[in-house]
Amino acid sequence: MRPSVGAVLHHDPHGRYPEALTVEDFRNKLAAVRARIDAACRRAGRDPADVRLLPVSKTKPEASVRMAYAAGCRMLGENKVQEAHRKWEATQDLGGLRWSIIGHLQTNKARMVARFADEFQALDSLRVAEALERRLQVEGRSLDVFVQVNTSGEASKYGLAPEDVPGFVRALPAFSALRVRGLMTLALFSSEAERVRQCFILLRTLRDRLRQSAPTGIGLDELSMGMSDDFEIAIEEGATVVRVGQALFGARPLPDSHYWPANPETEEPRS
């Protein structure tokens, strides 16, 4: 059943998400999250094969990365480029492990992303697109990208305002190394499920509208939305990628304000 209007989401990760300590443990958590994905798909009349689970390993040590790999994960999400790069370097012995950068990027780190990442989900400016394009051309690589949209209107969230997305997308065919896959968002952090749902509906509606007028070569099939606490709602509203950290790896030591700074303009995490 859909959560009814006014249903409450619990943002209490510390009580609910114990640390995964063994591969067996991680496998069980993976199975539990997949079961939640399947149930949400059933409610929405969707095929679970159309929803990709992206495990998010940020703040977790290399040992956790290895645990996820042993449990079968072949792509991991990281919010910060340097942390991702460090883990990528440390796990060169693991064949076929790919990395998705899901956090805001500063242009001076584009080079790092171009070198090792396979996916970038937080594209939100032409400056970053240009920097990535230049570096990818040098590396002879290409990158799957998602355009990040701020669907909550919160100043603390990165991403383009919804009304700026159509113009932005029209400019993207100029960047031949960027393979545009779709849109990404972070919903409002709220305990009110219906307000969270509105963010996901906004992203889907925007995607549907853009698809009708998208430039050739610009794929807008994907909707990356939903995290540990809200991915079921996101799936009900059409998510094709869910980014799940704590429900798999355990609660994080750092508060989320570290990732969603009080003032994004400074590009510095709030301490």
Ligand X SMILES: *Cc1c(COP(=O)(O)O)cnc(C)c1O
Q: What does the binding site for ligand X look like in residue numbers (CB under 6 A)? A: 56, 58, 79, 102-103, 186, 227-228, 243-247, 259
Shorter beta-carbon distance to ligand X: residue 97 or 227: 227
Q: How far is CA 151 from the centre of its chain?
A: 14
- What is the residue whose two structure tokens read 């303009």? 265
CA dist 19 and 35 (Å) reads 19
Candidates 9, 59, 41; CA nearest to 246 is: 59
Name the DSSP class of 214.
Answer: P
Provide the β-strand partners of residue 224: 184, 241
Residue closest to ligand X when measured from CB atoms? 245
Give strand ranges (E) for 159-199: 178-185
State the minimum distance, in angstroms, from the CB of residue 186 to ligand X.
6
State the minimum distance, in angstroms, from the CB of residue 243 to ligand X.
4
CA dist 211 and 19 (Å) reads 40
Shorter beta-carbon distance to ligand X: residue 214 or 233: 233
State the minimum distance, in angstroms, from the CB of residue 191 to ligand X.
14
Shorter beta-carbon distance to ligand X: residue 150 or 214: 150
State the minimum distance, in angstroms, from the CB of residue 79 to ligand X.
4
Shorter beta-carbon distance to ligand X: residue 58 or 197: 58
